[in-house]
C-alpha cells in the first residue's frame, strides 16, 4: 500500500502560480490611456456646460489672440482665438464631441457590416464566400483615405455622410479577420454537435458563432477607432470631411495652417495634440485588449 | 506553377473588374452623375449634351461597357479645371510622386531596418520597447500633424527648410520624412518579426556553434534571410506610397498625384478624382499580383504545389 | 583514465528561470562526466531529459532564459564556465564542434556550400577566401561527397538530405577540433544513409583522433558507436560507465526499463516510449528521486530523499538507493523473509 503525499514543492508552485495569474490579470492595464479616453468622452458629453464660449461664433475684433501664457494672451481665452476670433478651447471641447460621435458610430457601422458579412462568408462558404472575399480583397487594395476621398467627393460633406463613408471603407478589415475565425470555429466540436443536433444554419451562426467572434470584433473595433479618427481628421483637413463651421479637430488644423507661417502655432498644435492623445490612447487600449482577449490576433 | 500563375492572374483580373464596377456603381447609383460629370455652372443644353455623351439615357450595363471601354483606350475624360485630358495631367504629376516615394522609401528603410534589427537582437529589452513606442507613434500620429509640426520647427522657428513647393532637394526632405515615417514603423515591425524568426533558426545556431563573432552571425547569416520579406513589403509599399501621399502633398504643396487628387476634390473636378482612384487601385492590384508570382518563383513549396 | 581527461564536467548545473523568477527548470542538474581524448561517449534519455541542453551548456550557447548555475566544464585543462565570450568563440568550431539534428535546416539557404564549409577556416585560421574555398573542396572530399569541385559552388537546396548532413559534418571537422558533439545526427535520415553516416563519423574519428559525444535516444547507435554511456533522466545522469557493463547489467531501474524497451536490435529506430508513466515536469520535481513515481522498485526512502551518485566497483556510477552500499543486501534479506 503506497500513499503518495503531494510533495511540498508542488503545492508551493501551485500557490505561486495562482498568485501570479491574479497579478497578471491587471498587469499592464493601460490606466493612462483609458483615463484619457474617459476624459475625452466626458468632455464630449458635457461640452455645452464646459465650453466657455459658443464654438461657432467669433468676433474679428479679438482674432489671433495667443494662449494665456504668451504675451498678449488673456485669461478670457485660455488657449487663444482663431482667424475669426473664435475661442480655441471651446472649439476643442466641441471637437471632442465630433470625434467621439463620428469615431464610435463609424466603428460600429463598419463592425456590424464586417462582422455579419464575415460570419456569412466564413460559415456558408461557396459563392457567398467568393463574392464577399473578392470584394474585400479589391476594396482593401484601394488606399483607405483615397477611397474615402472619392466617396466624399461623390456624396458631398456632412457628418452623417462621413460616418457612412468610413463604415463603407473599413468594414473589409473586420470581414477578413472574422471570416478566418469562423473557418476555424467551424471545425470545433460544439459547432459540429449543433449541426448534428439539427440546428438551422441561422441558429448556429447567431447562437454559436457570433458569441465566439465578438471578442475579436471588440478588439478590432478598439484598434480601428484610432484609424477611423485619423481618417476623419484627414478628410476634414482636406476639406471633404465635417463641413465648416463645425468644430472638428482636423478642420481646425486646416484653418490654422494658414496662420502657421506667421507663428500662430496654437491653432494647429492644440488640435493636433488632442487627435494624437485620443488615437494613441485608443491604440494602446486596443493593444492591451488584443493580448488579453485574443492572443490569436497578435499578428494584426 | 503554370496553374498557380493562371489562377493568380484570374483573381487579379477579377479584382480589376470589381474595382471598375465599384467605381462605376458609386458614381451612377449613389451620386448624381450629371452633377459629377458636368462642369459646375453648365447650361441646360450642355447638361443634355453631356447626358447623351456619357450615355446616361442608356441602360446601366451599356453605360458600364462605355465606361470600361473608354478607360481601356486610355480616355479618362477631360479635366474641368485644367481643360486637358486627365491622363496627361496624371503623367505630368507622376514623376514628382515617384521622386517623393523613392526618397520616402529610402528614409523609411534607413530608419526601419536598423531599428527592427536592434529590437529583435535586444528582444524584450530597452531598445525593443523604445522601438515599439516609435512604431506606435508612427502609426498613430496623423500625417498632417507631423507635417505641420515639422514646418513649425524647421521653417518657422529655425528657418532651415522651405515650408512648401518643389524644385530643390531641400523641398523634398520634410514631405519625404513625413511620408516615410509612417512606413518606417511598418518596416520596423516586419524586420523585427522576420529577424526574430531567423534568429531562432538552426542555421543561425550552427553559425554560432562555428564560433563566428556576433557581427557575422547577425550581419551575414541572419540579416540576408530576414530581409527577403522586408524587401517584398517595401516593393508593395513603394506603389502604395505613390497613392497615399494626399495629405503630405497637400501640407507641403508638393505637385504629385496626391496633390492632384486634392485639387480634384477642392475644384470639384470629378474626372480627376475618379482617374486617380482607378489608376491607384489598379496599380496596387497589379503589384500584388507581381509579388505573388515572385514568391512562387522563390518559394519551392508553392512551385511544387501545382 | 590515469592521465587528465579531455573534457571533465564537474557538478555542472544549468537552469531555466522564468522572467518573474517563479519557475525554475533544472534542465541540467549536478552532472559529472569525464571523457578522454579519442573516446566516444553516448548520452541517452527521453526527450526533455536535458541531453541537448547539456550539449549547449558545454558550448556555452544556452538560450537567454537559461544559465549555468554551478559546476565546472574543464576542457583541455581550462574551465570553460568562466571564459570570456571572446575566448569562448575561439573554442567553438575550433576545439569543440557540434552537429545539429536537422541537416535540412542547419545550412543557410542563401550561401554556397563552399562559403559555409570554409567559414570556420576563415574566422579561426584567418584563411583567405581562395584558400578556404580550396580546403572546403578537400573537406567535401573527406566526407565522401562525389564531385566536390561542382558541389562546392552549389546551394543547399540542390543537395539531398544525406549530402547535407555530410556537409554539416564537414563543417564540424573543418578546423580539426578535439571534440565533436553530435546531437541526434541521424534522426532525420533514412536507415541506409544513417548507417553510412555513422560509419563516416567513425572513420573521421579514427583519422583525426576526435573525441565524440553522441546524443541520441537510440540505444542501437550507442551499442554500435560508443565506449562510454551516460543515461540522463530529468536533468541528471542516473547511470554512467562502460557501455558493455551497462548493457549487460544495468544498475539503475530506469536504465533497465530503457534496455527492456528496445525490442530488437534490427528495429533500432523504435523510440523509447514503452516505460509506464510520464516524464516528470522539470519545474516541479518530486522531493526524492525523480524517477521514483515511475519506478517499479521504489521504496520509502526513494520518495523522501534524492540519492547521490554512488560509485560501483566496476567503474560505473548510479544515482539509486539500490546501488547504495549495503542496501542490496538488506533488500535481499527482506525478500528472503
Whether C22 and A20 lie within 8 Å, measured CB to CB: yes
In which band, very low, low, confident or very high, does the pLDDT at A286 lie, cut at 50, 70 and 90? confident
Angle CA(A81)–CA(A82)–CA(A84) in degrees, nearest 5?
Answer: 110
For A149, the 3-state DSSP assignment is: helix
pLDDT of residue B31: 64
Window from B167-171, B247-251, B273-277, C101-105 with minimum mean pLDDT: C101-105
Domains for chain B: give ranges and CATH numbers. Answer: 1-81+269-306 (no CATH), 86-266 (1.10.3720.10)
pLDDT of residue B142: 85
Residue A57 maps to a domain: no
Q: What is the DSSP string of B177-188?
A: HHHHHHHHHHHH
Q: Give the count of domains, chain A.
A: 1
> Does residue A268 contact residue A276 with C-beta atoms inside 8 Å?
no
pLDDT of residue A170: 94
**Proportion of chain A above pLDDT 90, given as a percent:** 22
Taking the model in full, what pTM does it have?
A: 0.80
Please name the residue that has the C-alpha cell 459646375: B40
pLDDT of residue A262: 80
Question: Is any Cβ of chain B less than 8 angstroms from the Cβ of C110?
Answer: yes
For C37, the 3-state DSSP assignment is: coil
For C34, what's the count of Cα atoms within 13 Å in the CB-facing half-sphere? 12
pLDDT higher at B205 or C326: B205
How many residues are recorded in chain B?
306
> In this model, does residue A22 exceed pLDDT 50?
no
For C97, the 3-state DSSP assignment is: strand
In which band, very low, low, confident or very high, does the pLDDT at C269 lie, cut at 50, 70 and 90? very low
> In this model, does residue A100 exceed pLDDT 50?
yes
DSSP letter for A64, please.
T
Residue A256 maps to a domain: yes
C-alpha cell at B124: 524584450
The pLDDT tens digits for B205-219 are: 999 999 899 889 998
> Does residue C217 contact residue C232 with C-beta atoms inside 8 Å?
no
Q: How far is CA A155 from CA A55, A204, B54, in A?
A: 26, 38, 20
pLDDT of residue C41: 92
Whether A7 and C287 lie within 8 Å, measured CB to CB: yes
Whether B210 and C93 lie within 8 Å, measured CB to CB: yes
pLDDT of residue A112: 95
Residue A210 maps to a domain: yes
Q: What is the DSSP string of C205-264?
A: HHHHT-EEEEEES-HHHHHHH-SEEEEEETTEEEEEEEHHHHHHS--SHHHHHHHHT---
C-alpha cell at C312: 560501483
Range of the domain at A120: 30-48+78-299
Q: A165 CA to chain B: closest CA distance, Å?
A: 11
Residue A66 maps to a domain: no
Residue A93 maps to a domain: yes
What is the rounded distance in angstroms from the CA atom of residue B39 to the CA atom of residue B81? 9
> In this model, does residue B172 exceed pLDDT 70?
yes
Q: Mean pLDDT throughout B283-298?
A: 85
pLDDT of residue A172: 93
pLDDT of residue A109: 95
pLDDT of residue C20: 67
Whether B211 and C90 lie within 8 Å, measured CB to CB: yes
What is the rounded distance in angstroms from the CA atom of residue C129 to the CA atom of residue C149? 16
Query: What is the layout of strands, in order, in the sheet containing C78-79?
Result: C24-35, C7-17, C66-75, C78-79
Looking at the DSSP assignment, which residues form a beta bridge with residue C317?
C240, C311
Q: Mean pLDDT throughout A271-286?
A: 90
Window from A2-16, B58-72, B208-222 with minimum mean pLDDT: A2-16
For residue C20, which residues of chain A lie inside 8 Å, CB to CB?
Answer: 20
In which band, very low, low, confident or very high, does the pLDDT at C127 lie, cut at 50, 70 and 90? confident
Residue A68 maps to a domain: no
Summary mean pLDDT of chain A: 82
Question: Is any Cβ of chain A less than 8 angstroms from the Cβ of C161?
Answer: no
> In this model, does residue C335 exceed pLDDT 60?
no
In which band, very low, low, confident or very high, does the pLDDT at C224 lie, cut at 50, 70 and 90? confident
In which band, very low, low, confident or very high, does the pLDDT at B44 lie, cut at 50, 70 and 90? confident
Window from A7-11, B38-42, C30-34, C251-255 with minimum mean pLDDT: A7-11
Show Cβ contacts of residue A273 under 8 Å, excluding neighbours closer than 6 positions.
Answer: none
Question: Is any Cβ of chain A less than 8 angstroms from the Cβ of B33?
Answer: no
For C291, the 3-state DSSP assignment is: coil
Residue A7 maps to a domain: no
Contacts by B58-64, CB closer than 8 A, 24 or more apart: B60/B28, B63/B24, B63/B28, B64/B20, B64/B21, B64/B24
Q: Are strands C66-75 and C78-79 parallel, antiparallel or unpaired?
A: antiparallel
The pLDDT tens digits for A181-237 are: 898 888 888 888 888 888 888 888 888 889 888 888 988 898 899 899 999 989 988
**Proportion of chain B above pLDDT 90, given as a percent:** 32
Q: A216 CA to chain C: closest CA distance, Å?
A: 28
Phi-psi region of C326 (alpha: psi -120 to 50; beta: other; left: phi over 0): left
> Does residue B272 contact residue B79 with C-beta atoms inside 8 Å?
yes
> In this model, does residue A7 exceed pLDDT 50?
no
Mutate to test the interface with C, among B125, B128, B199, B206 (most CBs of C within 10 A): B206
For A8, the 3-state DSSP assignment is: helix
What is the rounded distance in angstroms from the CA atom of residue A241 to the CA atom of residue A232? 6
What is the rounded distance in angstroms from the CA atom of residue A130 to the CA atom of residue A136? 10
pLDDT of residue C334: 57
Q: Mean pLDDT throughout C115-143?
A: 91
pLDDT of residue A6: 35
What is the rounded distance in angstroms from the CA atom of residue C250 to the CA atom of residue C238? 11
For residue A254, which residues of chain B lie inside 8 Å, CB to CB?
Answer: 144
Show Cβ contacts of residue A28 under 8 Å, excluding neighbours closer than 6 positions.
Answer: A288, A291
User: Domain with A152 in it: what CATH number?
Assistant: 1.10.3720.10
Q: B167 CA to chain A: closest CA distance, Å?
A: 20
Residue A6 maps to a domain: no
Q: Mean pLDDT throughout C280-287?
A: 77
In which band, very low, low, confident or very high, does the pLDDT at C267 lie, cut at 50, 70 and 90? very low
For B94, the 3-state DSSP assignment is: helix
What is the rounded distance in angstroms from the CA atom of residue C242 to the CA atom of residue C229? 6
Amino acid at each position: 500500500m503506497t500513499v503518495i503525499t503531494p510533495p511540498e514543492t508542488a503545492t508551493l508552485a501551485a500557490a505561486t502560480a495562482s498568485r501570479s495569474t491574479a497579478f497578471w490579470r491587471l498587469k499592464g492595464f493601460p490606466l493612462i490611456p483609458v483615463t484619457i479616453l474617459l476624459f475625452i468622452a466626458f468632455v464630449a458629453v458635457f461640452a455645452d456646460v464646459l465650453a466657455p464660449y459658443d464654438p461657432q461664433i467669433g468676433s474679428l475684433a479679438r482674432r489671433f489672440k495667443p494662449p494665456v501664457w504668451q504675451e498678449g494672451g488673456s485669461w478670457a481665452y485660455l488657449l487663444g482665438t482663431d482667424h475669426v476670433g473664435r475661442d480655441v478651447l471651446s472649439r476643442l471641447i466641441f471637437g471632442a464631441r465630433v470625434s467621439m460621435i463620428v469615431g464610435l458610430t463609424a466603428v460600429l457601422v463598419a463592425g456590424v457590416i464586417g462582422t455579419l458579412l464575415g460570419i456569412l462568408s466564413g460559415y456558408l462558404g461557396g459563392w457567398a464566400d467568393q463574392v464577399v472575399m473578392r470584394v474585400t480583397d479589391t476594396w482593401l487594395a484601394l488606399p483607405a483615405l483615397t477611397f474615402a476621398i472619392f466617396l466624399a467627393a461623390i456624396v458631398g460633406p456632412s457628418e452623417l455622410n462621413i460616418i457612412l463613408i468610413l463604415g463603407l471603407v473599413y468594414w473589409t478589415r473586420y470581414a477578413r479577420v472574422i471570416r478566418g475565425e469562423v473557418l476555424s470555429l467551424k471545425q470545433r466540436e460544439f459547432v459540429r454537435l449543433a449541426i448534428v443536433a439539427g440546428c438551422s444554419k441561422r441558429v448556429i451562426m447567431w447562437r454559436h458563432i457570433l458569441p465566439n467572434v465578438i471578442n475579436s470584433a471588440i478588439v478590432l473595433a478598439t484598434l480601428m477607432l484610432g484609424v477611423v479618427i485619423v481618417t476623419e481628421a484627414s478628410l476634414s483637413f482636406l476639406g471633404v470631411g465635417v463641413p465648416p463651421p463645425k468644430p472638428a479637430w482636423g478642420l481646425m488644423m486646416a484653418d490654422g495652417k494658414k496662420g502657421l507661417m506667421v507663428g500662430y502655432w496654437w491653432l494647429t498644435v492644440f488640435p493636433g495634440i488632442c487627435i494624437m492623445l485620443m488615437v494613441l490612447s485608443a491604440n494602446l487600449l486596443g493593444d492591451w485588449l488584443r493580448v488579453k482577449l485574443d492572443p490569436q490576433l497578435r499578428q494584426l | 506553377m503554370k496553374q498557380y500563375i493562371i489562377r493568380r492572374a484570374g483573381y487579379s483580373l477579377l479584382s480589376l473588374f470589381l474595382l471598375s464596377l465599384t467605381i462605376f456603381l458609386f458614381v451612377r447609383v449613389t451620386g448624381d452623375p450629371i452633377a459629377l460629370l458636368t462642369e459646375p455652372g453648365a447650361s441646360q443644353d450642355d447638361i443634355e449634351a453631356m447626358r447623351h455623351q456619357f450615355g446616361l439615357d442608356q441602360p446601366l450595363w451599356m453605360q458600364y461597357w462605355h465606361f470600361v471601354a473608354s478607360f481601356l483606350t486610355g480616355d479618362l475624360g477631360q479635366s474641368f479645371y485644367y481643360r486637358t485630358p486627365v491622363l496627361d495631367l496624371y503623367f505630368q504629376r507622376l514623376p514628382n510622386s515617384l521622386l517623393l516615394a523613392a526618397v520616402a522609401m529610402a528614409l523609411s528603410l534607413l530608419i526601419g531596418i536598423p531599428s527592427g534589427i536592434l529590437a529583435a537582437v535586444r528582444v524584450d529589452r530597452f531598445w525593443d520597447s523604445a522601438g515599439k513606442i516609435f512604431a506606435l507613434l508612427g502609426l498613430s500620429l496623423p500625417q498632417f500633424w507631423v507635417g505641420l509640426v515639422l514646418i513649425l520647427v524647421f521653417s518657422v522657428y529655425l528657418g532651415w527648410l522651405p515650408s512648401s513647393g518643389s524644385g530643390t532637394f531641400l523641398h523634398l526632405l520634410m514631405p519625404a520624412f513625413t511620408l516615410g515615417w509612417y512606413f518606417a514603423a511598418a518596416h520596423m515591425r516586419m524586420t523585427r518579426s522576420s529577424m526574430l524568426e531567423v534568429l531562432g533558426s538552426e542555421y543561425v545556431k550552427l553559425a554560432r556553434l562555428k564560433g563566428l563573432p556576433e557581427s557575422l552571425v547577425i550581419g551575414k547569416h541572419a540579416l540576408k534571410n530576414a530581409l527577403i520579406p522586408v524587401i517584398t513589403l517595401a516593393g508593395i509599399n513603394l506603389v502604395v506610397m505613390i497613392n497615399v501621399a494626399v495629405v503630405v502633398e497637400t501640407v507641403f504643396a508638393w505637385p504629385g498625384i496626391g496633390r492632384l487628387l486634392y485639387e480634384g476634390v477642392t475644384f470639384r473636378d470629378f474626372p480627376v478624382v475618379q482617374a486617380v482612384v482607378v489608376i491607384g487601385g489598379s496599380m496596387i492590384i497589379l503589384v500584388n499580383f507581381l509579388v505573388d508570382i515572385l514568391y512562387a518563383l522563390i518559394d519551392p513549396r508553392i512551385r511544387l504545389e501545382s | 583514465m590515469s592521465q587528465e581527461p579531455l573534457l571533465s564536467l564537474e557538478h555542472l548545473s544549468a537552469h531555466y528561470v522564468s522572467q518573474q523568477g517563479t519557475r525554475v527548470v533544472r534542465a541540467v542538474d549536478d552532472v559529472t562526466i569525464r571523457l578522454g581524448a579519442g573516446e566516444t561517449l553516448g548520452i541517452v534519455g527521453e526527450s526533455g531529459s536535458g541531453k541537448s541542453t547539456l550539449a549547449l551548456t558545454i558550448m556555452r550557447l544556452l538560450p537567454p532564459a537559461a544559465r549555468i548555475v554551478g559546476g565546472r566544464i574543464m576542457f583541455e585543462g581550462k574551465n570553460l564556465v568562466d571564459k570570456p565570450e571572446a575566448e569562448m568563440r575561439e573554442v567553438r568550431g575550433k576545439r569543440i564542434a557540434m552537429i545539429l539534428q536537422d541537416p535540412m535546416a542547419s545550412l543557410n539557404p542563401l550561401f554556397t556550400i563552399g562559403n559555409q564549409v570554409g567559414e570556420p577556416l576563415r574566422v579561426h585560421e584567418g584563411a583567405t577566401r581562395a584558400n578556404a574555398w580550396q580546403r572546403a573542396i578537400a573537406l567535401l572530399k573527406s566526407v565522401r561527397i562525389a564531385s566536390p569541385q561542382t558541389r562546392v559552388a552549389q546551394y543547399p537546396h540542390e543537395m539531398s538530405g544525406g549530402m547535407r548532413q555530410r556537409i554539416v559534418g564537414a563543417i564540424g571537422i573543418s578546423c580539426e577540433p578535439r571534440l565533436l558533439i553530435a546531437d541526434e545526427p541521424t534522426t532525420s535520415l533514412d536507415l541506409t544513409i544513417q548507417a553510412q553516416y555513422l560509419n563516416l563519423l567513425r572513420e573521421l574519428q579514427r583519422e583525426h583522433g576526435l573525441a565524440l559525444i553522441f546524443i541520441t535516444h537510440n540505444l542501437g547507435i550507442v551499442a554500435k558507436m560508443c565506449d562510454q554511456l551516460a543515461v540522463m533522466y530529468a536533468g541528471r545522469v542516473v547511470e554512467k560507465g562502460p557501455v558493455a557493463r551497462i548493457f549487460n547489467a544495468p544498475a539503475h531501474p530506469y536504465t533497465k526499463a530503457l534496455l527492456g524497451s528496445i525490442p530488437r536490435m534490427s528495429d533500432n529506430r523504435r523510440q523509447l516510449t514503452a516505460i509506464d508513466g510520464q516524464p516528470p515536469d522539470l519545474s516541479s520535481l518530486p522531493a526524492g528521486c525523480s524517477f521514483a513515481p515511475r519506478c517499479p522498485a521504489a521504496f520509502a526512502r526513494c520518495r523522501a530523499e534524492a540519492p547521490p551518485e554512488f560509485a560501483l566497483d566496476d567503474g560505473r556510477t548510479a544515482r539509486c538507493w539500490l546501488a547504495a552500499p549495503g542496501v542490496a543486501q538488506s533488500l535481499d534479506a527482506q525478500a528472503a523473509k
